[in-house]
Structure 1
Amino acid sequence: MQTAVIFLIFITGLVLGSFFNVVICRVPEKKSIVKPRSACPCCGTVLKPRDLIPVFSFLLQKGRCRYCKSPISLQYPIVELSSGLVFTAVYLKYGISPEFFFLCYLMSILIIVFFIDLKHMIIPNGLVLAGIAGGLAFFALRFFYNDAVTGDEPWYSPLLGIAAVSGFLLLVAVIGMIVYGSDALGMGDVKIFIPISLFLGFKLSVLALFLTIFSGGITGLFLIITKLKNRRSQIPFGPFIVIGTFISLLFGNSIIEWYLRIL
């Protein structure tokens, strides 16, 4: 039974990942995510159902369009597989529960954020607002349900998280603008932590910020040392926010307990 549930959740993630690809491709260009139907970006041929099977269509077609043989971006199977694996990981942590559904909703938005920011270096306001809507619903649920994410933290824990994390990032952005005369940090990065804090609460959102800064700093240092980037190069912060948040919602409480033990 457990195996069947895991398989179903993984397949659901794959299918939703296919839709996330549509959002990733269309939202930055301000196009409708409902119509027109998906088509090859090279030849314009409208894709048939057999061309849209998550991951498998890419493999069967050897990574090329069935009609014009143009290469298909690796983004498509990567997003689909990532979605399936993320949904499965959240299920293994929280089981079928309110936390599972709400956190899968959050991660759905963050998967889209990851790839849009990686490609376009923007985090659309629509995604932030969608996250806030879900976060407020989860916040309201906590008045009637003791969730496993924030545990015994007070009801206002998510609000403290917003003040601490988004407030800190806003301060960094303002100081960067004053000192360097340019955006040291995008406002999208500041705003996306509002829904993250609503979902994770104070402790886990602060941990997510720490993991974001740590992973981003290590990656940036590596890129500079290898001369793939220089000190003035812009590096999207969103992907590191997504990674930090994902680690926090899966392992955050264990990481915090481990840290407190070694103090």
Structure 2
Amino acid sequence: MELLQALNIFVTGIILGSFLNVVGLRLPKNIPFTTSRSACPHCTTPLQERDLIPLFSYLISKGKCRHCQLSISITYPLIELITGFLFLLAYINLGLSLEFAGAILLISLAVVVTVSDINYMLIPNKLLLFFAPSFIIFRTLHPLQPWYDSIYGALAGFGIIFVIIVLSKGGMGAGDMKLLGTLGILLGLKLTLLTLFLATLIGTVVSLTLLSFKVIGRKDPFPFGPSIVMAAVISYLFGFDLLQFYFETFFLGGGETIVSFF
């Protein structure tokens, strides 16, 4: 029964991932994603129902448009698969709990931000204006302990990046600032700080890798939003375990005291 439930959640993630990918591609361009039909990005031929089955349509068509035979980006099935695996990972770690519902909200935001920021270097305000109230409602129904930790998390996420923007004279974008502030509502202070640390680490590794393979140049802009949301998902699912491991490893077993102090 649990295996069937896990499979159901994985498939749901794949299906929702397909929708979230469309949102990420259309929202920054103000294209309706609920009424406007999907079309081939090359020949603009509207897609039929059989072309819109998540993952399977791509496999059946061998990654090509049925009409113009040009290749369709592999990012479409990848986003669907990754979303499915993240849903499954959240279920394995949290079960069917209220925190699992929070994870679904977080993963949904993460997917849209990743698609939007990679394609357009933009994190739409409309997106954050939807998820910020959603996180507030969720934390009202299932508050952190203490409840005002959500406020601290939001202030820390917004404030730290604001200071970085001022000191670096635009080294980071306002979208990143608003994103981390929004995530802080859900994560609270400890996990927001951990998210910023992990995001910096992830962003550094990814950017250096892309530079070494000459995918980007030294002066090319680099989207930091995907690193932030990836770090936020890691923090939400594994954050306190990571903090416990860190402090127990580097502070000679004083992990419980230090983590509770934070």
Q: Same fold (TM over 0.5)?
A: yes
Cα 1:227–1:11 shift into 2, 3 Å: closer
| Mapped contact 1:103–1:199 kept (Cα < 8 A) | no
Paired position in structure 2 for 1:240: 227
Paired position in structure 2 for 1:77: 77
**Aligned residue runs from structure 1 range 215-234, under 5 A:** 215-234=202-221
Q: Give how far 1:44 is off.
A: 2.4
Q: Give how far 1:104 is off.
A: 0.4
Q: Give how far 1:33 is off.
A: 1.0
What stretches of structure 1 of length at least 5 have no aligned partner?
144-149, 178-182
Cα 1:232–1:40 shift into 2, 3 Å: closer
Q: Does 1:174 align with 2:179?
A: no
- CA distance in 2: counterparts of 1:21 and 1:165, whole angstroms: 26
| Mapped contact 2:21–2:111 kept (Cα < 8 A) | no
| Partner-residue secondary structure (3-state), 1:192 | helix
Paired position in structure 2 for 1:251: 238
What stretches of structure 2 of length at least 5 have no aligned partner?
252-262
**Aligned residue runs from structure 1 range 19-58, under 5 A:** 19-58=19-58
Q: Does 1:90 align with 2:77?
A: no
- CA distance in 1: counterparts of 2:171 and 2:14, whole angstroms: 35
- CA distance in 1: counterparts of 2:41 and 2:154, whole angstroms: 40
| Mapped contact 1:176–1:184 kept (Cα < 8 A) | yes
**Aligned residue runs from structure 1 range 98-117, under 5 A:** 98-117=98-117
Paired position in structure 1 for 2:260: none
Q: Give how far 1:223 is off.
A: 3.7
| Mapped contact 1:138–1:198 kept (Cα < 8 A) | no
- CA distance in 2: counterparts of 1:78 and 1:218, whole angstroms: 21
Paired position in structure 2 for 1:158: 150
Q: Which amino acid aligns with 2:230?
A: I
Equivalent residue pairs, number: 250
| Partner-residue secondary structure (3-state), 1:47 | coil
Q: Does 1:204 align with 2:196?
A: no
- CA distance in 2: counterparts of 1:76 and 1:158, whole angstroms: 34
Deviates more, 1:154-163 or 1:85-94: 154-163
Cα 1:230–1:52 shift into 2, 3 Å: closer
- CA distance in 1: counterparts of 2:126 and 2:35, whole angstroms: 18
| Mapped contact 2:98–2:142 kept (Cα < 8 A) | no
Q: Cα RMSD (Å) of the superposition? A: 1.5
Cα 1:47–1:228 shift into 2, 3 Å: closer
Q: TM-score, normalised by structure 2?
A: 0.90
- CA distance in 2: counterparts of 1:23 and 1:65, whole angstroms: 21
Q: Give how far 1:228 is off.
A: 4.3
| Mapped contact 2:191–2:235 kept (Cα < 8 A) | yes
The percent identity for this pair of structures is 38
Paired position in structure 1 for 2:256: none
Q: Which amino acid aligns with 2:187?
A: L
Paired position in structure 2 for 1:192: 179
- CA distance in 2: counterparts of 1:60 and 1:228, whole angstroms: 30
Paired position in structure 2 for 1:17: 17
Deviations 1:109-164 (A, max 9, x none): 11110111011111000111111011101221135xxxxxx5xx411111111222
Q: Give how far 1:99 is off.
A: 1.1
Q: Which amino acid aligns with 1:28?
A: P
| Partner-residue secondary structure (3-state), 1:24 | helix
Deviates more, 1:226-235 or 1:87-96: 226-235
Q: Which amino acid aligns with 2:224?
A: F
